[in-house]
Amino acid sequence: MRWSQMHIPTLRTDPADADAPSHRLLLRAGYVRRLMAGHYSLLPLAVRVRAKVIEVIRQEMTRIGAQEFLLPAMHPRELWERTGRWEVMGEEMFRLKDRKGSDIALGMTHEEVFGTLATELNSYKQLPQMWYQFQTKFRDEPRPKAGLMRTREFTMKDSYSFDLAAEGLDAAFDLNHDAYVRVFERLGIPAIPVEASSGSMGGSASTEFMCPADVGEDLVVHCPSCGYAANIEKATSQLAEVADGPGLDGPERFDTPGVRTIEDLADGFDAPGERQVKTLVHVLDDVLTLVLLRGDHPLNEQKLADATGARTLRPALPEEIRQALGALPGSLGAVGVTGLPVIADHALRGRRDMFTGANTDGVHLRGVDVDRDIAPTAWADLREAVAGEPCVRCGQPLEVQRTVEVGHIFKLGYKYADALGIEVLDANGERARVIMGCYGIGVERAMAAIIECHHDDRGIIWPLSVAPFHVAVVVAQSDDADTAKAGEDLYARLTAAGVETIIDDRLERAGVKFRDAELVGIPLRVTVGKRGLAEGTAELTTRETGETVKIAVTDMVDHVV
Ligand code: ATP
Ligand code: MG
Ligand code: MG
Ligand code: MG
């Protein structure tokens, strides 16, 4: 490839409105352009990287025996109604009508369609099966963010496993787990597998692969001593189960002035009825307080105490945290217990960005918009409060890390088999339900995550495995015929040796070419210049270290290969 002929619209300065490094660099280095919020065009360099990411994933999927499919992006409403998810998916699902007035969903995930295909399986002998695809997913994200990190249409590698029994699913889950570890290793993403909850997918076990990044929207709690790692929702519910100790039964539980008992509070609530609340976690973006509640609504103190009690993780908040709380609007000082029924209601509806706290008069409730109403400085204090909690497993202090989810694997169980009728005949000729798992990696988000982890102030530093080109041959003086010829010659020989090479043959100053090669992130640069050629050498520069070595032109290809 020739730089002079490729469309690589690099920008001289940082684009406005792009704070995350990956977003800024993808724009600046000429990889993507924004069409509208959450929708990006991928330019030729990005297409090359994307193809490599896909190939790495495909190889690892093939290695565990998965078969590639390609399913439609548009799905009939009726199919999603069979699993109940036409309703459940709510506003995140894009919907449209065709000319006949039929409702159509733009696929945001493919359990329904793969599950339908699996109804053609009829014997246990055909199991296990592992099916996957690379497909565009559409999600009407409330807040598209950070370029390719959170878009409204993106490519997902999604796979689905079909097994006869739970042990089969366990094996498929482990295979995918290991495949994901290898994928992220090869992509240069230092992903941490963490325990997670299953969300709208339904099912039991679930593991998220989280890449540490400041731009991330997820918090991971991990223990450097024993390796325990879980996302914040999961960790807080597990912490709640082990939390115990003095102060839980005393008046501290109800330390809102004017409030004596939970009934006092419950009177003021519009309690959500007799719904069973098993685990309640109150997450204020970062964890502030959590409460575990097992019992029925309407709440009463006795029930709370009987059914394991309302336990607060932090029965006695340190003074500085109390002060931070006091500074919050609505006086959320007693949010742990006082807000229970309402918070429960919100938690059950899966709302994380909104919670309701009790006012100091104890019965008056108000909604608080976390993003709008809480001062960032208060968050910092609260974060401090969480770090250092003893660990779920080994009792050592926990650390909290900001991360982005790059992959997610689930044990789905029988939810889709039941809804769609996926059954086979077992060894005894009896009908048996098929148990499913599903496994997803976001392709473009992976690209962004790689950049978050591999860049410097000069630009992107692609790992060799996904770099758009391995080598950039920079002709320092393209207007000098001998230098240009030497560059062309090296370019031809590198290409013939199977090295993916781009030659910067533009009539630009060498400095401009160097800057672009660094910005774009090509791992190796071969510089061919007059002075070196006079002594038969060219320079080889490693992007990551900046290290440059002189090498005889005749040895260059052997050296690079
Ligand atoms: P998030 O918590 O970030 O919203 P998710 O849990 O909704 O992600 P899954 O349904 O588990 O995502 O999808 C599997 C993978 O698809 C994610 O791990 C991520 O890599 C990718 N992904 C999900 N949503 C997006 C998005 N809006 N833009 C880009 N990639 C995404
Ligand atoms: Mg999501
Ligand atoms: Mg998630
Ligand atoms: Mg997920």
For residue 400, the model assigns a pLDDT of 78
Residue that has been written with the tokens 């002075």 in this structure = 531
Q: What is the pLDDT of residues 439-498, one digit of tens each?
A: 999 999 999 999 999 999 999 999 999 999 999 999 999 999 999 999 999 999 999 999
0.80 surpassed by pTM:
no
* DSSP states along 208-274: EEEEE-TT--EEEEE-TTT--EEEHHHHHHHHHHH---TTSSSGGGG-STT--SHHHHHHHS----S
Q: Which of 323, 332, 333, 344 is nearest to 373 (CA)?
A: 332
For residue 185, the model assigns a pLDDT of 98
HSE-CB for 76 with a 13 A CA cutoff: 7
| Spatial separation of the C-alpha atoms in residues 93 and 342, rounded to whole Å | 27
For residue 543, the model assigns a pLDDT of 97
Q: Do strands 129-138 and 67-69 pair parallel, antiparallel, or not at all (unpaired)?
A: parallel
Ligand 1 pocket test, candidate residues 23, 180, 406, 408, most atoms within 8 A of CB: 408
Q: What is the pLDDT of residues 348-371, one digit of tens each?
A: 333 332 233 332 222 222 233 333
Q: Do strands 365-369 and 354-358 pair parallel, antiparallel, or not at all (unpaired)?
A: antiparallel
Q: How far is the CA of 405 from the centre of ligand 2 (A)?
A: 9
Which of 3-12, 210-219, 256-265, 279-288 has the least mean pLDDT?
A: 279-288
Q: Report which ligand 1 atom has the smallest distance to the Cα of 150.
A: 28
| Spatial separation of the C-alpha atoms in residues 238 and 127, rounded to whole Å | 35
Q: How far is CA 116 from CA 52, 90, 326, in A?
A: 30, 22, 54
Q: How far is the CA of 82 from the centre of ligand 2 (A)?
A: 22
Measured in whole angstroms, the distance separating CA 541 from the mean position of its chain's CA atoms is: 33
Asked if residues 232 and 403 have their Cβ atoms less than 8 Å apart, the reply is no
For residue 501, the model assigns a pLDDT of 98
List the structure tokens of 284.
């204020």
List, in order, residues 6 or more apart from 145 with CB less than 8 Å away.
Answer: 20, 215, 217
pLDDT, averaged across the chain: 77
DSSP 427: T
Residue nearest to atom 1 of ligand 1 (CA): 405
Looking at all shown ligands, the one closest to residue 407's CA atom is 1
For residue 491, the model assigns a pLDDT of 98
The sign of the dihedral angle between the CA atoms of 364, 369, 373, 375 is positive
The one-letter code for the residue type at 459 is G
Is residue 334 pLDDT above 70, yes or no?
Answer: no
Q: Do strands 501-504 and 471-475 pair parallel, antiparallel, or not at all (unpaired)?
A: parallel
Q: How far is the CA of 408 from the centre of ligand 3 (A)?
A: 8
Give the pLDDT band (50/70/90) at residue 226: confident
| Spatial separation of the C-alpha atoms in residues 290 and 239, rounded to whole Å | 9
Residue nearest to atom 3 of ligand 1 (CA): 405
Q: State the SS3 of 14-72.
A: CCCCCCCHHHHHHHHCCCEEEEECCEEEECHHHHHHHHHHHHHHHHHHHHCCCEEECCC
Is residue 44 pLDDT above 80, yes or no?
Answer: yes
For residue 316, the model assigns a pLDDT of 34
Cis, bond preceding 298 (omega within 30 deg of 0): yes
Q: Do strands 524-528 and 501-504 pair parallel, antiparallel, or not at all (unpaired)?
A: unpaired
The two most distant CA atoms of the chain are separated, in Å, by 91
Q: How far is CA 520 from CA 139, 246, 459, 462, 470, in A?
A: 29, 58, 6, 9, 11
For residue 392, the model assigns a pLDDT of 57
Backbone angles phi, psi at 159, to 5 degrees: -120, 160
Residues 228-261, buried b or exposed e (16+ Cβ, 10 A)?
bbbbbbbbbbbbbeebeeeebeeebbbbbeebee
Share of the chain above pLDDT 70, in %: 69
Q: How far is CA 310 from CA 155, 173, 290, in A?
A: 43, 35, 10
| Spatial separation of the C-alpha atoms in residues 48 and 30, rounded to whole Å | 13
For residue 245, the model assigns a pLDDT of 26
Q: Which of 174, 183, 236, 226 is nearest to 205 (CA)?
A: 174
For residue 230, the model assigns a pLDDT of 80
Q: What is the pLDDT of residues 518-547, one digit of tens each?
A: 999 999 999 999 999 999 999 999 999 999
Q: Report which ligand 1 atom has the smallest distance to the Cα of 407.
A: 18
Is residue 297 pLDDT above 80, yes or no?
Answer: no
Backbone angles phi, psi at 518, to 5 degrees: -70, -45
Which amino acids bring their CB within 6 angstroms of ligand 1? 109, 139, 141, 150-151, 154, 156, 405-408, 440-442, 444-445
The one-letter code for the residue type at 372 is R
For residue 426, the model assigns a pLDDT of 95
For residue 242, the model assigns a pLDDT of 36
Q: What is the pLDDT of residues 140-161, one digit of tens each?
A: 998 898 999 999 999 999 999 9
* DSSP states along 144-204: -BTTTTB-SEEEEEEEEEEESSHHHHHHHHHHHHHHHHHHHHHHT---EEEE---GGG--S
Looking at all shown ligands, the one closest to residue 180's CA atom is 1
Residue nearest to atom 29 of ligand 1 (CA): 150
| Spatial separation of the C-alpha atoms in residues 212 and 216, rounded to whole Å | 7
